[in-house]
Amino acid sequence: MSRASRDTELARTAGMVLIDGRDINNPDDCASIMITLDHLIATVILTVMDRDPKKALIMFTEGTVPQVEKRIALYAANKRGQ
């Protein structure tokens, strides 16, 4: 399995753990899922950035946000191509 495939599988598994049986069609559950996601992102970035809030914020704004935008755009392009 390639590293990219492994990363995708890890992301899917983490997503399912994060959703934790909540209903993605229920607005209250969606809000709860997003709060959990916010907490997860902050926890992971702070951990990776050695608990330095300044470094964590830079990593989030300059690294994480652009990469998430890129992945969503790629998904949209692939979906249009189907």
Which of 68, 62, 77 lies closest to 11 in space, CA to CA? 68
Domain residue spans of the chain: 3-80
Mean pLDDT, the chain, integer = 96
Question: For position 19, what pLDDT does the model report?
Answer: 97
Which of 19, 64, 11, 15 lies closest to 42 in space, CA to CA? 64
Over residues 14-51, the pLDDT tens digits come to 999 999 999 999 999 999 999 999 999 999 999 999 99
User: Rounded to an integer, what distance in angstroms lies between the CA atom of residue 36 and that of residue 23?
Assistant: 14
Question: For position 82, what pLDDT does the model report?
Answer: 79
Residue 43, CB-side half-sphere exposure with 13 Å CA sphere: 6
Q: Are 22 and 33 in contact (CB under 8 A)?
A: yes
